[in-house]
Chains A and B, each alone.
Chain A
Amino acid sequence: MTYEVDAKYLTKKERRAIPRQAMPEQAANIRNKDFSEVTLGFGLLEAQYEAARCIQCKDPACVAGCPVGINIPGFLEQIVEGDLHGAIKTVWDKTALPAVCGRVCPQEIQCEEVCVVGKKKGRESVGIGNLEMFIADWARDTGVSNEVEIPPKTGKKIAVVGSGPAGITVAGDLAIKGHEVTIYEAFHRAGGVLLYGIPEFRLAKDIVDYEIEQLKSLGVNIVCNTVVGRTVDVDELIDEMGYDAVFIGVGAGLPNFLNIPGEDLNGVFSANEYLTRANLMKAFDFPKYDTPIIPGKNVAILGAGNVAMDAARTAVRLGARSVSIVYRRTKEQSPSRHIEIHHAEQEGVQFKFLTSPLEFIGDANGKLVGINCEKMELGEPDEGGRSRPIPTGEHEYIDCDLAIIAIGTSANPLLTRTTENLELNQWGNIEADTKTGKTTKKGVWAGGDITLGQATVILAMGMGRDAANSIDAYLKGEEW
């Protein structure tokens, strides 16, 4: 692809002829040995040509498809015009975390799925996510920051519990409205799942740190090492510490286990533990960092969602000889993004579909040596239209010294157990109004995975935005 003509001078016909620009990536056989980011990002010309593929729909479906409603055609055209300042402002208008969203949002089932360009036969949708990443990275690299005029202090105080995507969004939104915001984080560093969960090679941690710095520059206080529910509880925040509102965005941090024999063997991990060691504690750089990790020669990942792919690709980078995803359903039924499966395949991860673990097998010292599995086949579709895997009776033994369980997480009861009048659903998630995020406890809002179960970064941000608006209205006198 050559970029001889400035994208803004292309005719409509020429624009339509531009193919989707591929995201430059590190070669798989190089990147699978280190933790630097896989995606390298667009250059300016690539970005302008990609943005020029947008046909500027009058009634853009992509905006409706975005959980935070970014004016997508708007910022794309600004990129084409070369108005990068304008473009990032348009994006910042709706999201505080474009560098993060550009990388980890499932665009293919949101904005890009409904993109009209991609509906035409033989055409692909506009690479909106890649462009969001481009413009956010440009702003960070050139030192352009989100300079918003903050109105006079309202004198209202808000406590935000958890510094993940939901909490960051709420804090940023309310700080911009002149409120005094403090985020309480249980870990020693802020960022939540962006830090402990999503690996460096998918989201560089200096990007997360940068976003946190941006929040601080808006006047947000961040207090780490504080477990709300233990160090301080929700009622104390309201009654003793003078907070006018509390937002709970503590995520779904409790790892689910398989509850099969041998799960306590050495070498069997939850994905949460494995990824937290590698990401937050930087065990990949052991012994420079003190936290160790078992590298594993033959690694089996149980589950096939995005977290499973993250764990598998981390194991590859830590030097495993073989890494397999073991999943009781099929590839098509995997809840993972296609790009994640694709990247994992490129890096040498193998897939064992229709395979269900029955028992972890250990040696005399209690160390994992393998997993007994049963082969499955697809049965009739259930009420939801999804075919259920049915045991065949045929067994398979998988040789492995490291097994990582990535079958989802549940709500952590630490905060909810110590907070009165906070209604929970049957899974332990907080009941919150879907439009406002209001819980059953006056003055307390909730959003993100603690209300949704395990969902995505962008949905948590969308809920954070709604809650921030509701909190602002309440603090300005609206009835509870």
Chain B
Amino acid sequence: MYKIVKREEMAHKTIILNEIEAPQIAKKAKPGQFVMLIADETGERIPLTMAEVDKEKGTITIIYMIIGKSTRLFSTLKVGEGYKDIVGPLGQPTHIEKKGTVVCVGGGTGTAVLHPITRGMYEAGNRVISIVGARNTDYIIMRDQMAAASDELRICTDDGSEGRHGFVTDELREVLENNEVAEVVAIGPVPMMKFVSLLTKEYNVPTTVSLNPIMIDGTGMCGGCRVTIGGKTKFACVDGPEFDGHQVDYDGLMRRLQAYRVEEEHSDNCMFEREA
């Protein structure tokens, strides 16, 4: 068992943080890499990119939104309990180097994944402007950590309860207009990454996105996570999860993410019924 040593609830209990004992994974993990987790004997394998790694303590941190059966099952695990299985680190780490001004754009729980990359970029000597968006101020996560890892942190909310009233793309356009930007890293919901990439294409700024398609093994074995990058089929688990944002077929990715919508709802309902 992989023991949970810290658990936090965020955004009206819709987002959960778990810090988990996994010394071997922590030893090897680099920003941008992910793990596969199984909650219990009958559980499925769920990929999540690590939000934090403490090599000394031998822990990794994941942050996830409760969206279906498995994440809801994860959310029932308390401190002292744990995950039956975790494997990793998987995927290619982020390519971090000094480039100049880097803009890190995070949406929803994508900000959790973005955070170690932002810090890596900052520590590498880049000037980092971060833009974090959410539906309202209560759903902005890791505000302090992102602020500490950035020269400038800008917030956007859909309802205007904090920062700019609008989308991250509105804020990003302003940043691109007024700065010489070397790279944009965008992690969040697929539509957000799509529109960020369309925007940065206009400005011809290299853009990295992190994809989270459906996976079974996470090691290149099933091909379930295949995504079309520049017209070619790639496996997000071994070739990614990060790709050139301008090359990704986002519509195809969104379609594939919907593949089990009916089954997922059914599974979730079964859990509700059992609990009731």
Contacts and interface: CB of A to CB of B under 8 A. Distances in A.
Nearest to A250: B219
A232 interface: yes
B216 A230 contact: no
B44 A230 contact: no
Contacts of B270: 287
**Residue among B38, B252, B263, B266 with the most chain A CB within 10 A?**
B263
A270 B249 CA distance: 20
A413 B85 CA distance: 24
Contacts of B86: 225
Contacts of A412: 219-221
Q: Is the interface of B mostly helix, strand, loop or mixed?
A: mixed
Interface string B211-228: 000001101111110111
B28 A230 contact: yes
Given A264-B233, A287-B266, A290-B44, A276 B221 contact: yes
Contacts of A291: 44-45, 216
A196 B208 CA distance: 34
Interface residues of B, number: 43
Contact of A254 (B42, B220, B256): B220
Contacts of A263: 226, 233
B255 A365 contact: yes
A227 interface: yes
A273 B233 contact: no
Nearest to A223: B24
B220 A231 contact: no
Contact of B224 (A232, A273, A414): A273
B43 interface: yes
A277 interface: yes
Contact of A414 (B38, B238, B249): B238
B255 A290 contact: no
A187 interface: yes
A249 to B, nearest CB: 15
Interface in A360-414: 365-366, 412-414
Contacts of B276: none
A253 interface: yes
Interface stretch (B87-95, B113-121, B157-165, B196-204): B87-95
B263 A257 contact: no
A270 B227 CA distance: 14
A281 B216 contact: yes
Nearest to A186: B219
Contacts of B45: 188, 281, 291
Given A230-B88, A412-B221, A290 B260 contact: no
Contacts of A267: 259
Contacts of B226: 257, 263-264
Which of B43, B70, B219, B270 lies at the interface centre, i.e. has the most chain A CB atoms within 10 A of its CB? B219
A282 B40 CA distance: 13
B247 interface: no
B145 interface: no
B14 interface: no
B42 A186 contact: no
A227 B220 CA distance: 11
Interface in B71-107: 73, 84-90
Contacts of A9: none
Nearest to B237: A414
Given A224-B85, A231-B89, A257 B42 contact: no
A266 B267 contact: no
Given A231-B89, A266-B258, A253 B221 contact: yes
| Most A Cβ at <10 Å: residue of B222, B252, B255 | B222
Contacts of B223: 255, 257, 270, 272-273
A230 B90 contact: yes
A186 B216 CA distance: 12
A294 B38 CA distance: 21
B147 to A, nearest CB: 32
Interface string B142-175: 0000000000000000000000000000000000
B90 A227 contact: yes
A230 B33 CA distance: 10
Nearest to B43: A290
A288 interface: yes
A266 B255 contact: yes
Contacts of A231: 24-25, 28, 87-89
A292 B262 CA distance: 10
B127 interface: no
Contacts of B221: 196, 253-255, 272, 276, 412
Quick one: which of A267, A270, A282 has the most chain B CB within 10 A?
A270
B260 A366 contact: no
B267 A286 contact: yes
B54 interface: no
B244 interface: no
B263 A292 contact: yes
Given A230-B88, A273-B224, 17 more contacts: A188-B38, A227-B88, A230-B89, A253-B219, A253-B220, A253-B221, A263-B226, A264-B228, A265-B255, A266-B259, A272-B222, A282-B42, A287-B267, A287-B270, A292-B260, A365-B255, A414-B238
Interface of A: 186-188, 196, 224-227, 230-232, 253-255, 257, 259, 263-267, 269-270, 272-273, 276-277, 281-282, 286-294, 365-366, 412-414
29 contacts: A186-B87, A188-B38, A188-B85, A196-B221, A224-B85, A226-B24, A227-B88, A230-B90, A231-B87, A231-B88, A253-B220, A255-B221, A257-B226, A257-B233, A264-B228, A266-B255, A266-B258, A266-B259, A267-B259, A273-B224, A276-B222, A281-B216, A288-B42, A289-B42, A290-B42, A290-B44, A290-B73, A366-B255, A412-B221
Give the top 4 A-B pairs by smallest Cβ distance, nearest first: A292-B263, A366-B255, A273-B222, A188-B85
